[in-house]
Chain A
Amino acid sequence: MTGTLTAPTPRGGRIRYHRVLFHVTATLVALLFLAPIAWVVLASFRQATDSLKPPLPPWPTDGFTADSYVRLQEFGQSILHYTGNSAFVAIGTAVLTIIVSVLAGYGFSRYRFPLKGLVFVLILSTIMIPFQSILTPLFLLLAKMGLQNKLIGLVLIYTTLQLPFSVFMMRNAFDAVPKEIEEAARIDGMKGIAMLTKVMIPLVKPGIVTVGLFAFLNAWNEFLAALVLLTDQDKFTLPVLMTAVRYGRFGSVDWGAVQAGVMVMMIPCLILFLILQRSYIRGLTAGAVK
């Protein structure tokens, strides 16, 4: 808007015209991107009889109802149970990833030890190898360890997959902390783990949030490994359960329940992202700088 005030009139008209055109286009594109999400949000509150019909219009025509969520609740154990499984895996992965990558990041940033360079490159280079290609042996390995069909097995695998990104992030975060701060704390008698937890961790908090957020979202949404490694329905995470719902049972598929399930899967991610947007974008662009 400021442009129109300062620019001479003949060009001002063109600039205003351009700006309006830009905002109209950008808004239309935004609507296009938001439409599928809006559609499923609205459709998930339709009546059971409507859920078989096309979502035209998407909103419930005869009153909002949570019926679809109630029917989803009847699948297997209960949707809360599976949400709990997913939450366990996602939070477990986030916590373990934070612990392991903070320790490793600190070690790589502040210590010198034999083969340090090699080990760092080794951890980072696993990002080049798609985990899909090692899924078969992972399955056998977990079966041998008694971790197949256990949520904790998934947590360990997801954490490993997060390590290249997370260790890199945390190493850089610690590197950015001026060594004078550490020296001052050392003079105060801090050392070892206390130095890490009391002095360093508060300083690298943004990095920790980013690492935890990525770990949480990736674990929450992961599908293939969960599909292969979980064989007991009680252990299913949401993506695996919802695929079963989408295939229906006894030869009938309940699209209303699918919509409700998509909501249960999406909403936590959307909320987390909207709250922690800055940390998320930081993670992405830190990767870009690499």
Chain B
Amino acid sequence: MYFRTVSGAAVAAALLVPGQLAAEEFSIWVRSDGSEFMPKLVEAYNARGEHKADLQIVPVNELVQKYAIASAGGSAPDALSLDLIYTPAFAEQGQLRDLTEFAKSLPYFDSLSKAHLSVGTVDGKIYGLPFSGDASLLLWNKDLYERAGLDPEDGPSSWAEIQEDAKAIAALDDETYGFYFSGNCGGCNIFTFAPLIWASDGEVLSEDGKKAMLDSPKAVEAIDFYRGMVADGLVPAGSQTDNGANFFAAFANGNIGISPSGSFAIGALNNQYPDLNYGVTFIPGQEEGNWSSFAGGDNIVISAGTDEGKIPAIQDFIEFAYSPEGQTILAQNGAMPVRGDIAEEALAGLDERYLISAEAMANGRTPYTVVFNDLINSSNGPWVTTLNRAFFASSEEDMRQAVGDGQAQMQSVIDAAY
């Protein structure tokens, strides 16, 4: 009886929606950061022989521009794995399809990454679904810890500890430094610096993204914390002009004690620098016991103009990505799974450092703004120029001046958009 009902429903569905049976081909783009996991995921999906995903990898810096041009010319891809922070901007420009109904129909909807969904939702409608995760973390070099007489198994868990440990390591010799961050990279710092503030009950932006809060007390204290480490000579001189080019390599080269980074670094370090003995912990708050993380990664979105006939196939692809098989492919190739209920299963057998990363992902935050590129990521935007001035200011007064100016500039960029 049960069997008959099910098959009957299937037949009825097939008659009602004939497109669902026909194999559909759809195009999908991913930014180059996803060039590890995405081809493997697509390959596994296409091997099932139902529908065919046609993948194109786009250089990360050109994705927004390229999508915009293609969209203007009517040749936008059907689906897109989009850096999640751009979801609000794209949605508000009417580029994306409303996926609310599909999302709510997923049985595991409640265990999908909240951080991804919060930026994927605009005016109560879901435009972007969680696809891949990358959370910010703190790395420390165990060998240097040992040489400096510190406990190599105990990573720093407060700002004060970071500073103390960094001091001890910097004292080792002239070529060794305590701490590294990319001091001229906006994207790197929203990813790794903002969590220091969040973990101390501070904010960088208001919840709705309409107010800059760079001059709030905790933000200023965090900036001064970095400034102090720079002034003490714990940070290499190259940091001041690093626009992200050295974001990963500085720590990987082995002469840096502590550096905030991301989940991606675990895979990259294990593959490219197998000899580096390092630990992974959360980015701490000012007080011990608190931590936070930037939950980054990609949302999957469907272009507003995509042919109705292709929608079921794309939805099928998304559900495949959410399946245990899909989530495992992600995890094995350096992306954090985005389905909380099976994350552990997907990460089973992997380096335990991935588990810390998954936890950071699950409890991470993602700031919301429609002007993310102009405000944060642009190399001439107010966020990075302000931080650069403030981190490397020669006095506290100069630092406060820089923060004051930067707060006003950030607010004016936001105001211009609303």
A–B direct contact (CB < 8 Å): yes
Interface residues of A (CB under 8 A from B): 52, 143, 146, 148-149, 231-233, 244, 246-253
CB neighbours (8 Å) of A252 from chain B are 245-249, 252
Q: Is B62 an interface residue (CB 8 A)?
A: yes
CB neighbours (8 Å) of B73 from chain A are 143, 146
CB neighbours (8 Å) of B61 from chain A are 244
In the complex the two chains form, is B62's CB within 8 Å of A231's CB? yes
Binary contact track B231-257/A, C-beta < 8 Å → 1, others 0? 000000000000111111100110000
Q: Which of B58, B188, B246 contacts A248 (CB 8 A)?
A: B246
In the complex the two chains form, is B59's CB within 8 Å of A250's CB? no
Q: With CB as the reference atom, state the residue of chain A lying closest to B59.
A: A233
Instruction: Scan residues 176-191 of chain B and give those whose CB is less than 8 A from a CB of chain A.
Output: 182, 188
Q: Is B86 an interface residue (CB 8 A)?
A: no
CA distance A232 to B62 in the complex (A): 8
The listed residue with most A CB atoms (<10 A of its CB), out of B69, B182, B244, B268, is: B69
In the complex the two chains form, is B246's CB within 8 Å of A247's CB? no
> With A143-B73, A250-B268, A252-B252 as given contacts, are A231 and B244 in contact (CB-CB < 8 Å)?
no
Instruction: Please give the distance in Å from A24's CB to the nearest CB on chain B.
Output: 37
In the complex the two chains form, is A232's CB within 8 Å of B66's CB? yes
In the complex the two chains form, is A247's CB within 8 Å of B248's CB? no
Instruction: Please give the distance in Å from B253's CB to the nearest CB on chain A.
Output: 7
CB neighbours (8 Å) of B16 from chain A are none
CA distance A190 to B247 in the complex (A): 68
Q: Is B5 an interface residue (CB 8 A)?
A: no
Q: Is B93 an interface residue (CB 8 A)?
A: no
Q: Is B65 an interface residue (CB 8 A)?
A: yes
CA distance A116 to B61 in the complex (A): 47
Q: Which of A52, A143, A231, A250 contacts B253 (CB 8 A)?
A: A52
CA distance A203 to B246 in the complex (A): 56
Instruction: State the interface size on chain B (CB cutoff 8 A).
Output: 23
In the complex the two chains form, is A248's CB within 8 Å of B66's CB? no
> With A143-B72, A231-B65, A232-B66 as given contacts, are A251 and B253 in contact (CB-CB < 8 Å)?
no
CA distance A52 to B268 in the complex (A): 19
Instruction: Please give the distance in Å from A179's CB to the nearest CB on chain B.
Output: 52
CA distance A148 to B62 in the complex (A): 14
Instruction: Please give the distance in Å from B245's CB to the nearest CB on chain A.
Output: 4
CA distance A132 to B264 in the complex (A): 38
3 smallest beta-carbon distances between A and B, as pairs: A251-B248, A252-B249, A251-B247
Instruction: Scan residues 76-97 of chain B and give those whose CB is less than 8 A from a CB of chain A.
Output: none
Further 7 A-B residue pairs, CB within 8 A, beyond A248-B245, A251-B188, A252-B246: A146-B73, A149-B69, A232-B62, A233-B58, A249-B32, A251-B244, A252-B249
Q: With CB as the reference atom, state the residue of chain B lying closest to A253.
A: B245
> With A252-B248, A253-B249 as given contacts, are A247 and B243 in contact (CB-CB < 8 Å)?
yes
CA distance A107 to B73 in the complex (A): 39
Binary contact track B246-284/A, C-beta < 8 Å → 1, others 0? 111100110000000000100010000000000000000
Q: With CB as the reference atom, state the residue of chain A lying closest to B33.
A: A250
Instruction: Please give the distance in Å from A145's CB to the nearest CB on chain B.
Output: 11
CB neighbours (8 Å) of A246 from chain B are 245
Instruction: Please give the distance in Å from A172's CB to the nearest CB on chain B.
Output: 41
> With A252-B245, A253-B245 as given contacts, are A244 and B59 in contact (CB-CB < 8 Å)?
yes
The listed residue with most B CB atoms (<10 A of its CB), out of A52, A231, A247, is: A231
CB neighbours (8 Å) of A231 from chain B are 62, 65-66, 69
Q: With CB as the reference atom, state the residue of chain B lying closest to A245.
A: B245
Instruction: Scan residues 21-62 of chain B and give those whose CB is less than 8 A from a CB of chain A.
Output: 32, 58-59, 61-62
